[in-house]
């Protein structure tokens, strides 16, 4: 006689009437944190590259302030989601390289410190006429902030991909590049809305929009049933809206901007809106994926990772 191993389990209701996976309980602060942190991390890289290439000094200055301001807002958003400031501090008591959450907490702490030090030292150096100690602080902190900033703009994609939630885990190979490109587009968009019209920003915006367009096509046509929350229902429409606004729309507008430069601001605004909607869509799709018993579990691919 065959023995039924889990007699109480049911495909429609999970196990003992509970869903198999726990849906994400993150508040609105988390997707906004993903958006702000991605833009801040990318801005720190743009600031350093602009300095190294002797580009427009105001681009480097504004990008550095975007990075510093974004890091502070990111810390406030993450603390708000955790509920109490001491919870974030407790996450820094131990560093666990195998934990995306631990790496992310340390990354945010380091990035906030370095980006703020770089921006403030540079500002005070200009005010005091090039005082050497401040210049040294800036020259050390700026590239360090850019290095950590690359992690800051991509690790959130790794964070949600390293779970057993099918819609996220199935796209773990796409998420870091997707979030990184989105962060670059957001940083470029903010700089352009501040009035910068450097050709290098235009090329970066085109590259980011091209990556976002390719990512949208992969999700739409190249993934299985696990990715259905990214295509169907309200979460699917939100994903498509974010993908269109961050990919094809700014790509087309930037192509038009070579003859009509004023269109670049519309491309920048579209990219920013798309980037934020995309982050909201991924969280929404994760909630649907976790509670839908018809979606295959991604447990084999997620061995050893956490269930959010």
Per-residue pLDDT at 5: 37
CB 62 within 8 A of CB 196: yes
Return the pLDDT at 3.
38
**Predicted confidence band at 60 (pLDDT cuts at 50, 70, 90)?**
very high
Whether pLDDT at 80 is above 90? no
Position 302 pLDDT exceeds 70: no
Q: Rounded CA gap, 67 and 58, in Å?
A: 14
What is residue 207's predicted lDDT score, i.e. its pLDDT? Answer: 96
Question: Higher model confidence: residue 275 or residue 130?
Answer: 275
**pLDDT tens, residue by residue, 206-239:** 999 999 999 999 988 876 788 888 998 999 999 9
With 0.75 as the threshold, say if the pTM is over it.
yes
What is the CA angle 227-228-229, rounded to 5?
A: 95
Measured between alpha carbons, how far is 71 from 126 in angstroms, rounded to an integer? 22
Task: Convert the pLDDT of each residue in 87-105 to its tens digit.
Answer: 666 666 666 666 667 777 7
């Amino acid at each position: 006689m065959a023995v039924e191993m889990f007699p109480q389990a049911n495909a429609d209701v999970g196990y003992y009437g509970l869903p198999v996976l726990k849906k994400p309980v993150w508040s609105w602060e988390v997707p906004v944190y993903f958006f702000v942190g991605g833009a801040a991390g990318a801005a720190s890289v743009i600031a350093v590259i602009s300095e190294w290439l002797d580009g427009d000094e105001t681009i480097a200055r504004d990008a550095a302030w975007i990075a510093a301001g974004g890091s502070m807002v990111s810390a406030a958003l993450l603390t708000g989601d955790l509920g109490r400031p001491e919870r974030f501090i407790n996450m820094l008591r131990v560093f666990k390289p195998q934990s995306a959450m631990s790496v992310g907490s340390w990354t945010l702490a380091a990035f906030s410190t370095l980006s703020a030090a770089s921006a403030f030292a540079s500002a005070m150096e200009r005010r005091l006429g090039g005082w050497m100690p401040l210049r040294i602080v800036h020259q050390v902190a700026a590239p360090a902030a850019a290095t950590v900033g690359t992690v800051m703009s991509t690790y959130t994609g790794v964070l949600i991909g390293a779970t057993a939630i099918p819609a996220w885990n199935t796209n773990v190979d796409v998420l870091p590049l997707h979030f990184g490109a989105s962060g670059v587009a957001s940083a470029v968009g903010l700089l352009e809305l501040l009035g910068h019209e450097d050709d290098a920003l235009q090329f970066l915006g085109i590259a980011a929009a091209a990556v976002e367009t390719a990512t949208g096509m992969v999700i739409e046509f190249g993934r299985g049933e696990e990715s259905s929350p990214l295509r169907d229902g309200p979460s699917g429409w939100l994903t498509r809206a974010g993908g269109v606004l961050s990919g094809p729309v700014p790509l087309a507008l930037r192509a038009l901007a070579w003859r009509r430069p004023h269109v670049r601001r519309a491309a920048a605004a579209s990219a920013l809106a798309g980037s934020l909607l995309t982050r909201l869509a991924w969280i929404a799709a994760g909630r649907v994926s976790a509670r839908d018993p018809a979606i295959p579990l991604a447990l084999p691919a997620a061995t050893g990772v956490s269930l959010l």
